[in-house]
Structure 1
């Protein structure tokens, strides 16, 4: 039976939060031109959350009704103790699913250990399936490593593996057929993501942003049918087609009512609760985490949710405290 707690995570808009996106590092080994074009530069000298702090944190979120934890970065595989983090999350009573978002660079040799630790689901990233375009976007010639990780996830029996692709004018809009051909044969979910404006990428955003609605409408016209969204699923609208082994999803943060179904909260790698990706600086929970008192942390999470806005204000050009997506893993 699922655990209940009087402080079940909800906000003033009657949204319930069962999904935690937990950043375990800001560091990233890619230099994606829409996120970290100059490479990773530390924002603080503070160490990321320790294993004991993560254990207390996840226990607190479980008390608040969290059922799914997605581990993000930066690039989470840069942490040598990632398998232990996965195990901590998976063994926490109330947590039903542990997922990982990774650029896939290092996964070919690491993924079996993560699966053995309890990893349930994997999201990878490839903004192009052409090596040269991939290198131009990410700063690395590592496309094959990502595709190898995708195949390994399938061989290990992982279900519902996702491949994230940021739509970029001038880089990959002429390559959509490549992605659809992949999904025709691979049982994965390809997700097109609209480029989001952050504090550090405004000029890039204006030059390369693509509205994904027209692509989604074209899919519908070709017989793709929208799937029912799971209770612990993210914000993607996902579609299926009988002629394709995989699915196609869309994350369109500028669409109307995008935030109405929000079910997720974010923790930074330094212990700050971010009720909204594009909100203010965050609520520092680290002093409470050091005391190893999950109920007290759960109280603070509940109090912090009362400051969660009804929606972001990206359409107004307000990006909040988020300078780049590596800060919180998107």
Structure 2
């Protein structure tokens, strides 16, 4: 059984062209909003192998996935990161290979990653002030991360973006520093509204800033929203004629946020997660050992989509069974 030209869909008519694939739960930063006490091993580190990732990517490509993003934890703690990128890029039908990283070793390796097939890069930078960056991440590495970002912008990547979590602590001077950052840089900075997880209730209550604040700030200063592509992530991006870059907003608490969902998630242990803030997962790993299991694997994914929920329940203070974002790649 094959699926030529097909795009997997759920019962709400949403079509899925984008896979977020976690390759590790490990992270070497201690971000206040995710792992303030650092990564703590809770099980064997038996994450997907390169061969398993290749079989998984091939099956999802057959189901219409054309973009795969490698996430973590921090994916680049894996020494075989270049091999992982290469095996995903080698699959017919995969047109975009993306990576989200905290940038800690970006300067050293980004050229190898691009040569292996990386096309899109997101770098997490939660503050442009050195002290604030260190306070949020637990590391004084802002200079290294910015140097890696600059090197990446000289390469043949089709897209280089910056991610920043919207936190009250990092907005002492508002958004002006960020709009100045993109005045001459052709890069998109996307603010991600802080989301409630199983272990951050108090932090969320103290630090959550509504995405509406950024939207109103931008619109009052002449920034206008752009049109999303079919395999873009959930960000709304804003542009301004006086700026080379863009400012984006990912606002999961806005009404209708889930209506246009176009992405699926697989954890570092090979489990399909239908919603980041949902309940339960569907095991795929038992079908990744042999190429002969590919058709059964695709059928299992399609069967799971029947029960994909219409949306999350974050508005009700319910993050599902998501304890922290490193658990499934955010």
Q: Secondary structure at the match of 1:174?
A: coil
Alignment partner, residue 194 of structure 2: 195
Q: Equivalent residue of 1:294, what SS?
A: helix
User: By how many angstroms is 1:322 displaced?
Assistant: 0.9
Paired residues for 1:1-330 under 5 Å: 4-5=3-4, 8-292=7-291, 293-330=293-330
Conserved in 1, the CA contact under 8 Å of 2:106 and 2:149? no
- Paired with 2:6 and 2:296, the residues of 1 have a C-alpha distance of 11
Report the Cα distance in structure 1 between the residues aligned to 2:65 and 2:170, rounded to whole angstroms.
Answer: 37
Structure 1 distance, partners of 2:250, 2:195, is 10
- Following superposition, the deviation at residue 171 of structure 1 comes to 3.0
* Corresponding residue SS for 1:200: coil
CA-CA distance at 1:221 after TM superposition: 2.4
Q: What is the SS of the residue equivalent to 2:241?
A: coil
4+ residue segments displaced more than 4 Å: none
Q: CA shift at 1:281, angstroms? A: 2.5
- Aligned residue pair count: 328
SS of match in other structure, 1:124? strand
- SS for the counterpart of 1:170 is helix
For 1:43 and 1:301, locate their aligned partners in 2 and report how far apart those are by CA, in whole Å. 27
C-alpha displacement at 1:4, in angstroms?
Answer: 4.4
**Aligned equivalents of 1:106 and 1:175: distance in 2?**
29
Q: Report Cα offsets for 1:170-201 as digits up to 9, x if no partner.
A: 33342521111101111100101100000111
The two structures have a TM-score, normalised by structure 1, of: 0.97
Secondary structure in 1 matching 2:162: strand
1:30-81 Cα offsets, whole Å, 9 max, x none, are: 0001100000012321500011111111111011100000000101111111
Q: Distance in 2 between matches of 1:173 and 1:274?
A: 36
1:168, CA displacement in angstroms?
0.8
Give the CA deviation at 1:218.
2.3
What's the CA shift string for 1:110-158, capped at 9, x where partnerless? 1011000000010001111011000000000000111011101111132
Describe the SS at the equivalent of 1:100.
strand
Alignment check: 8 A CA contact 1:168 1:209 kept: yes
Looking at structure 1, the residues matched to 92 and 233 of structure 2 have their Cα atoms a distance apart, in angstroms, of 22
| CA separation of 1:6 and 1:104: change in aligned 2, threshold 3 A | closer
Q: Contact conserved, 2:127 with 2:133, CA < 8 A, in 1?
A: yes
Which whole-Å CA distance do the structure 1 matches of 2:119 and 2:11 have between them? 32
CA distance in 2, matches of 1:5, 1:263: 19
CA distance in 2, matches of 1:286, 1:6: 25
Residues in 2 aligned to 1:174 and 1:209: alpha-carbon distance in whole angstroms: 16
